[in-house]
Amino acid sequence: MTWRPQYRSSKYRHVFGKPATKENCYDGVPITRSVHDNHLCTVNPRFIAVITECAGGGAFLVLSINHTGKVDPHHPKVSGHRGNVLDIKWNPFNDFCIASCSEDTTVKIWDIPEHGVLKNITVSQKELQGHSRRVGLIEWHPTADNIIFSTGYDYQVMVWKLDVPEQVIKNPVRSISVHSDVVLSMSFNTDGSRLATSCKDKKIRVIDPRTGTLLQETDCKSHKASKVLFLGNLKMLLSTGNSRWNHRQIALWDQEDLSQPSYSEDLDGSSGVLFPFYDPDTHMLYIAGKGDGNIRYYEISPEKPYVHYLTEYRSLLPQKGMGVMPKRGLDVCSCEIFRFYKLVTIKSLIETLSMIVPRRSESYQEDIYPMTAGNKPSMTLRQMFYKQQEEIRRLKEQLNQKDVRIKQLELEIKNVRNSQANL
């Protein structure tokens, strides 16, 4: 009998969380008291933006990533919305462009000066008017520039094209109407050809964002989904939610078959929403609970049992929301593979938390830093159109081939029947 170790070998087995010192955090930030279950914070290598409490409309704060320590209570804000800001996202291809959505039913695109926000900004670069109720979520397309998706309490997912001369855009490129309730989260796959959504009706849907066609939909009673996330190129979805017995739960799905989860696991009996984060470079999954200070992390593999628990980071500081630094902004000299920005409301603090792979050598560790997503769009809208036309042409060819094959089979059946009739 061959002896086998009881553990799974992994270079990320000993990853640990390293919180920043107080002077390297952002102190005195008036974090929003909104109960909306969004991240409330967004980060790029130059700036950190966080939704703040503001009288008379909605606002968010933009700080230089190096502006740590005590934040001036009168620091200028981006404050052009008439209602509370519900979500903010940096443009993945422009570190000086940020989008926000609000209870005032609009989405706004803002230009941030190169040296940061030195005075209040109230005039946006673009204003998107199309939703009839408050807008709760926005998401930039991962590969095409100037394309943003928004969804609101009117149950619509709207697709907007920003490279137009108008400052106020009233007509989206497409409006996707496949949801029966409020959309709670949106996630693209790596090339942006699929959009996954979770909805207040507890269902997960996979949509073709180019046509608005509903491709897959869950009808599983044992898992009530809250958040959903595409797992890179693995053709799998990860959802967080609640089990039938109201335990917090994670579930893994095949993107082509959402009838039943491939894997599910109950985590605990707490009530806070679970925020999932996935790193396609390391295949590591991080699960952070709203209202608690713990972050569980796992390694994902394409073969069963798919999800391999690594360990858990524990903290007494509960997080209300989380921002994540893109890979191009990490400190490779300290073997940092992921970085969180935790919003700690009880202390008006944004705490920086680095996930570190312990290595003895101080040289660059090539094995933990494979090729990663950059800040240049890989596809223009014209390329998207041509790609879609090519796919339509290919599908038509397949249909023609099947039509020919059907006619051949019909002819063969007819010949067999004639030969039997002559016997």
What is the share, in percent, of the chain residues with pLDDT greater than 90? 71
- For residues 48, 53, 58, 64, the Cα torsion angle rounded to the nearest 10 degrees is -20
Helix or strand (DSSP H, E) at 403? helix 381-422
What is the share, in percent, of the chain residues with pLDDT greater than 70? 96
Instruction: Say what the pTM is.
Output: 0.86
- pLDDT single digits (tens) 261-293: 999 999 988 888 999 999 999 999 999 999 999
Q: Under CATH, which architecture does the 16-371 domain have?
A: 7 Propeller (2.130)
How much is the pLDDT for 2?
A: 39
State the Cα–Cα distance between residues 273 and 291, nearest whole angstrom.
8
Domain boundaries along the sequence of the chain: 16-371, 380-422
Residue 34 has phi, psi (to 5 degrees) of -60, 145
How much is the pLDDT for 1?
A: 37
Helix or strand (DSSP H, E) at 393? helix 381-422
State the Cα–Cα distance between residues 6 and 232, nearest whole angstrom.
28
b/e 86-114 (16+ beta carbons within 10 angstroms → b): bbbbbbbbbbbbbbbbbbbbbbbbbebee
How much is the pLDDT for 4?
A: 39
Residue 34: pLDDT band by 50, 70, 90 thresholds? Answer: confident
